[in-house]
Chain A
Amino acid sequence: MLRDRWMSFAFLAPAVLLLGVFLYYPMIGTVIESFYSTSFINPNPAFVGFKQYETVMGKAEFWQVLANSLVWTVCVVALQNVIGFFVAVLLNQALPAQGLVRAVVLLPWVLPGVVVAILWRFMYDPQLGLINSFLISAGLTTEGIAWLADKTTAMGAVILAAVWKGFPFSALIYLAALQSVDREQIEAATIDGAGALRRLRDVVLPAIRNVILVNVVLTTILTFNYFDIVWVLTRGGPQGATDIFPTKIYELGFGQFRFGEAATYGVASIGVLALVAALYVLAQRAGSRRRRPV
């Protein structure tokens, strides 16, 4: 027993060490940094306690970033998972040239984020963009819309690009989950009289419930921390309309060298993610549904 205990410590040590050095050290460093005021002009960190939090949260800018982040994350995650799920349901049918179709669907996901962003910048271009030339030729508008430069459309445009890149990932995971659902259970439900939607609700969804949960949490965290697409498409603009935590932190830290403030934003974003993790644990607990006699 004792030997086993030491063995398990020995096996765990490398993982703990890696996490400690690469994850917890910088994270704790960020928290400490957020209590100091550091900037380019004032390179000697001065301890200010919670003063920086007061300053940051006192500005409308912070609440704008928080609201943007939530809109962005909720929209991208919802669309990506819903579209991904239905694409997976389609791909799960017997299709002609199945392998080819699956490979084509997966394509957006294997492209680097920067490439996707540049691609969509062309698509959205007011003069040369595919979207505008389509709208004009269809007679829906007379002159090109500057999708990324307009405060009202920029967020939607960025979300669309991110969903386009992200849905194949969700589809792939859902497809694997769908293929693992016991075929005989679905057949039994068919014979019991359940139609396609009912089978989906009563048999398929409960069977892949945990995959859905993990997938939603995973895409939530990835999306919340998304940087490259937003940065390349809009740099958080226009007038902060698409500024989310990662772009704001990058801009504050490496654009304006206000490290203390950047760290404060960083700590706030960790707080938001911790909330998501807590919700996940709660959702998983709720999984043990009440037992009913019929």
Chain B
Amino acid sequence: MKNKTGKKRHWYDYLWIWSIIYFSLGFFNILFAWLGMIDFILPLIFAIVGGNKWFCNNMCGRGQLFWLLGRNLKCSRKKPAPKWLSSKWFRYGFLAFFMTMFGTMIFQTYLVFSGANSLRKVVKLFWTFKVPWEWAYNGSIFPDWVAQFGYGFYSLMLTSTLIGLIVMVLYKERTWCSFCPMGTMTQGICKLKNK
């Protein structure tokens, strides 16, 4: 099958389906949130080993989903985003913020691991709003910290997707990509590699 621009379609053009499956799985069982690590590790491997952004450019399901909803389903105003949103200081600032939040999440996981805290079955949206999510976990063969990481990671994934959807509606389809921490990080690595 060919698309509008006459390019051949590949299996990885359908990875937007993976984004939907990911959130659905995590809705029913929070342990599936761990699968999101693939979307963290793969782009980094491409950048560190290959020195490219092949992940962003070809196989990011999230980017594809924003394009599909924004362009094909016309859910985007397609207006240029404010310039500061894709400026270097905002992009690297957001990356730093994101990494800090990632670190906090790892620390929460550690607290459950060490027994200082007990497992909290909530998904935290926008790093602020706690949404009860207890149906997604009823114990497993794994220790509690594994589930805690799941909740933390799922919160991060859901929050970033929601931010992405908001900027998709307000601005261009893939505005999220202009300040996505993974995108910034992989481009940064590529730039360092090609110095």
Chain A bound to chain B: no
